[in-house]
Copies of this chain bind each other. A is one copy, B any other.
Amino acid sequence: MKKENSAPTMKDVAREAGVALGTVSKVVNGLPVGDSYKIRVEEAIRKLNYQINSYAQGLKASKTHTVALLIPNTLEPFYASLTYHINLALLKRKYRMLLCSTDYDSNLEQEYVAMAQQNKVDGIIGLTYNPDLVIEETTPFIAIDRSMGPKIPCVTSDNFAGGQLAAEKLADLGCRKVAFLRWGSSLTNEPNKRKAGFENGCLARGLSYEMKIINDGEPYKEFEDFLAGHIINGKLAFDGIFCVTDTLAHDILRTLKKLGQAVPGDVQVIGFDGTRHFGNKAYTCSTIVQPVSEIAEMCVELLTQENMLSKPPLVCLPVSYAYGGTTSEMPEA
């Protein structure tokens, strides 16, 4: 009857296999690792009779009624809005929320994951870009926007459909030659599907398109040069632009003004996120709106439901389009 105490942990597996803890975490969570590592980890799991499915216990035995939220910051409007709605969804269910603004600090992220493992919090909802975060499969964790592996539910907007919707809207509004601009992480993550969806929409609707993609750390000036390089006799070669976020659209709108291009007269612009001025006023641009409140509800619902076995690996929630002054339709009266 020493089952509870002698159950092998992920650390035991790492020691047995002679690999890093992160490697075990990846194998257990179904993420790709080199074949030789995978074999060693799987052998160690068999030898120690390590039980992967203990994850399925979930929050049934909630001890703390506290959930931690890992988020880069609460300054950027999308993060601020997510924080607000997740906070409300938890409070409604009598859960408390520990907030951890990570500023992309992976040590801090790992520290909070450890708290969940030590039962100091019941579970974690996390928006993290840390590819090396080690999450034991016994840790109730809900990811936002970036999959942490097939066994960890990830909640996100339907980014592909959103990209497609942006292309369709630009086509409906009379555009013929459009551009997609992206600035962001080169890591695989859900928002990157916006690009694929946009391409798909352009092809379906016969729009010609160009892409300009800049990774984090590269200078914004590349967008300025790209746009300036597409001005012929004072006229921009594009009549529509889809920006991967409203934040980028904000910068692009300033650049277009500097380049003497009128919005929406010369070129129409659609962003992504559904950001509102001062959190609750008009949209900052015409935009694909993320269902932030629904994302928040879904994260909390998945984390706090009892039967973890039924948890889906990826939940994509529907987006919508909203007019915000940078496209040429007549706004609603």
Given the known inter-chain contacts A97-B99, A99-B83, please indicate yes or no for A280 contacting B75, CB distance below 8 A.
Answer: yes
A103 at the interface (CB under 8 A from B): yes
Q: Which of B97, B103, B275 contacts A278 (CB 8 A)?
A: B275
Nearest residue (CB) in B for A108 is B91
Q: Are B74 and A74 in touch, CB under 8 angstroms?
A: yes
How many residues on the A side are at the interface (Cβ–Cβ under 8 A)? 33
List residues of chain B with CB within 8 A of the CB of A278. 76-77, 246-247, 250, 275
List residues of chain B with CB within 8 A of the CB of A76. 278-280
Complex Cα spacing A74 to B87, Å? 9
List residues of chain B with CB within 8 A of the CB of A97. 98-100
Complex Cα spacing A73 to B276, Å? 15
List residues of chain B with CB within 8 A of the CB of A83. 74, 80, 83, 99
A88 at the interface (CB under 8 A from B): yes
Complex Cα spacing A84 to B278, Å? 16
A281 at the interface (CB under 8 A from B): yes
A193 at the interface (CB under 8 A from B): no
A75, A97, A280: residue with the most chain B Cβ atoms closer than 10 Å: A75
Q: How many copies of the polypeptide does the oligomer hold?
A: 2
Q: Are A75 and B279 in touch, CB under 8 angstroms?
A: yes
Could you mark each residue 78-119 of chain A with 1 if its beta carbon is under 8 Å from any beta carbon of chain B, else 0?
001101100110010000111111010000100000000000
Given the known inter-chain contacts A80-B80, A277-B250, A278-B250, please indicate yes or no for A88 contacting B101, CB distance below 8 A.
Answer: yes
Given the known inter-chain contacts A74-B80, A74-B87, A84-B73, please indicate yes or no for A250 contacting B101, CB distance below 8 A.
Answer: no
List residues of chain B with CB within 8 A of the CB of A279. 73, 75-77, 80
A5 to chain B, nearest CB (A): 27
Instruction: Give me 7 A-to-B residue pairs in the complex whose CB atoms sit less than 8 angstroms apart, sorted by A's number.
Output: A73-B84, A76-B279, A83-B83, A87-B100, A87-B101, A88-B103, A97-B98
A binding-site residues for B, Cβ under 8 Å: 66, 69, 73-77, 80-81, 83-84, 87-88, 91, 96-101, 103, 108, 246-247, 250-251, 275, 277-281, 284
Given A75-B84, A98-B98, output 6 extra A-B contacts at Cβ < 8 Å.
Answer: A74-B84, A77-B278, A83-B83, A98-B99, A99-B99, A250-B278
The 10 closest A-B pairs by CB, nearest first: A75-B279, A80-B80, A99-B99, A87-B101, A74-B84, A76-B279, A74-B83, A247-B278, A74-B80, A75-B84
